[in-house]
Structure 1
């Protein structure tokens, strides 16, 4: 079973060999698997204990609620960090293609699966997507026109931002803006510009302006900036003072993002803000400090590594299907605890299946195809 985490760049199967220490153990840091798995678990708990009831008030109130939107934001920070770690390995185009091949096919598979289950287990009064909705979701149009295009699964908002983030990283790395002093300027611009335009965004901006700003995810750029800043600081490319200033500014960006417009005015979600800021510090400590393998038992580590390996699939399929499972169980008399446990279990099982049947095979197929094409081009260039 292939357990290579999402953030490790793959090489063709015939040359794949794990990096070993003298003791024969892999050099991969278990701490990153713990952080990745923890973020996805936070997302699942947030959806199962809070958002499920918020979106569907007929569901039984949970005795324990976790109302903080933390995990998904932290996954973007981790994505940005590992974009920096992996971007210099191999050809730049192969790096970009690998990220697209990793993210997009399982996303499409998840959308099709969720669409099918929503129709097979349709619940009266709940949103039932049309074929137009299916196409709009595959095209990821929600952030651009939220009033016209509805999420089949709300968790998917991170996918286009990651695709854009990896594309921007490749373009920057190829240009002079991705190196030296220039990249520092880019980071500061990327975090300060959204902060400066925030009053416009929340003050009734024209629809065209809102569509562009939200479509490119400008209000989330600080999450990518802090991921890059953590990598630069942990590799001694920027000093403590510079890193602290960037980190504090990104925390400010997060606090502004978590203001919600209500009939009573703007209301701050300080719980989510504090949670994400703590998460930023955890990622920074993980990047800078030693591995956690000395305090995590091997048995626990194996489970964490397995879950981290399927976590993208779990993230993609657990929410909407979990709500349907919860409502179906409630209709036959199941209580809130069983509903939550069933939602978590269903998400893990379907995420494992999506990883095994879609994510890994399509990634291997697309990367092998890229490598064969690159080899043919190289052979043709040598002949000429």
Structure 2
């Protein structure tokens, strides 16, 4: 399978994960948090919460690939910022406005908190509410980016086995200490070290190594360690989904899931980031409003689902694509005009 084809399939996989998360949020999670007016509301999509695990595995693959191609830590950071912030900032503003106009007071945050949310750093501070609950994953992703940036900064990006084994060892130590001495400090350390998710990113990194160097025993051993880690520090159910995602990735790398390259799946992969950003709280406001007017059947979920998809597509076409093209062009022009180290040579 060609390099281009493979990445298309992985991107489509991200889109499927986003759809699974949406279905979970609108059914099982919404019912557990707010309660649907209809008795016996469907809970077929409980598995959608594990879509986040798949996101992290995909990030491990894609981001490690990115740092292997980046010129420097600053180059990596700027490119990531160009990719993430325009859509995110628009989503924060839109979600804040819509939720503020709704009757769902428990979803609302203050204007000052919304401003802090614009930085994407809200979860690094205590007492700052999220404009949308799904933003919690962004802190995990940002922490992973910082770790990868540090590897670039110190020239260790190519040393994948020492890096992943060291990260594994540190995560195990943090988890064991937290279980042995369960205090607020150990909870904070576990939370901000992303020890609960490190093995997901590591699995993605191992798949990148397999893609680059072929199937080697050491890569599979690391993934086996990740599954064992899942069993000990998360749950057996969690580990079962991890095994499923590992199997899916293996099939993709083997060229056995070519149907994921269809236009429909690629479309959902293309809009996966903006749809993830805007679906939850805006969707909750819509569901609450619909149920208050008597639209309580599950079929009406097609309205917030369709709205989220259309809104995400509009963000992709009108904000994400233009901003990325413009900002990257400006950055590339400046980078080429003033290459790193040029000032030092003068």
Give the TM-score band, short-chain normalised.
0.7 to 0.9
- Stretches of structure 1 that go unaligned for 5 or more consecutive residues are 1-20, 259-267
Please identify, of 374-383 and 196-205, the stretch whose mean Cα deviation from structure 2 is larger: 374-383
- 1:242-296 per-residue CA deviation (whole Å, 9 max, x = no partner) reads 12221122123333453xxxxxxxxx5x43442233112212332x312644x56
Match for residue 254 of structure 2? 289
| Cα displacement (A) at 1:143 | 4.3
| Cα displacement (A) at 1:109 | 1.7
**SS across alignment from 1:149:** coil
| Cα displacement (A) at 1:90 | 5.6
- 1:7-43 per-residue CA deviation (whole Å, 9 max, x = no partner) reads xxxxxxxxxxxxxx9xxxx943342233122111111
Whether the 8 Å contact between 2:16 and 2:265 is mirrored in structure 1 is: no
Q: 1:255 to 1:62 in 2, by over 3 A?
A: farther
Matches of 2:108 and 2:255, distance apart in 1: 48
**SS across alignment from 2:156:** helix
Whether the 8 Å contact between 1:310 and 1:352 is mirrored in structure 2 is: yes
| Cα displacement (A) at 1:95 | 3.5
Q: 1:251 to 1:315 in 2, by over 3 A?
A: same
Matches of 1:201 and 1:140, distance apart in 2: 27
| Cα displacement (A) at 1:185 | 1.9
Match for residue 31 of structure 2? 53
- Stretches of structure 2 that go unaligned for 5 or more consecutive residues are none
Matches of 1:66 and 1:134, distance apart in 2: 31
Match for residue 198 of structure 2? 221
Match for residue 149 of structure 1? 128
Q: TM-score, normalised by structure 1?
A: 0.79
- 1:114-144 per-residue CA deviation (whole Å, 9 max, x = no partner) reads 1111012233x53321113213433445544
Match for residue 173 of structure 1? 152
Match for residue 272 of structure 2? 311
Match for residue 167 of structure 2? 190
Whether the 8 Å contact between 1:31 and 1:291 is mirrored in structure 2 is: no
Q: 1:324 to 1:361 in 2, by over 3 A?
A: same
Match for residue 54 of structure 2? 74
Within the alignment, does 1:324 sit opposite 2:285 as a pair? yes
Q: 1:205 to 1:107 in 2, by over 3 A?
A: farther
How many aligned residue pairs are there?
340
Match for residue 39 of structure 1? 17
Match for residue 131 of structure 1? 111
**SS across alignment from 1:115:** helix
Q: TM-score, normalised by structure 2?
A: 0.87
Within the alignment, does 1:113 sit opposite 2:90 as a pair? no
Q: 1:135 to 1:342 in 2, by over 3 A?
A: same
Could you say which structure has the higher helix fraction?
2
